[in-house]
Amino acid sequence: VWKKGAHHWLILHGRYVCKARKPDCGSCSIAALCLFKDKVFT
């Protein structure tokens, strides 16, 4: 049953948490799976 809504959940997650200009990694529930930190230059 959860798979039916997974596509929609990922779209909403990308829209409200993982924003293109300023991702909110601190409140991300899947940050451990994300490779964004490896792409950021400091």
Distance, CA of 12 to CA of 14 (rounded, Å) = 5
Residue from 23, 19, 16, 21 nearest 37 by CA: 23
| Sign of the dihedral through C-alpha 29, 30, 32, 36 | negative
Query: Which H or E run includes 11?
Result: helix 2-16
Q: Which pLDDT belongs to residue 16?
A: 92
| Domains of the chain by residue range | 2-38
- pLDDT per residue over 23-35, tens digit each? 888 888 888 888 8
Token reading at 8: 């929609």
Average pLDDT in the 7-33 region? 88
**What does pTM read for this prediction?**
0.64
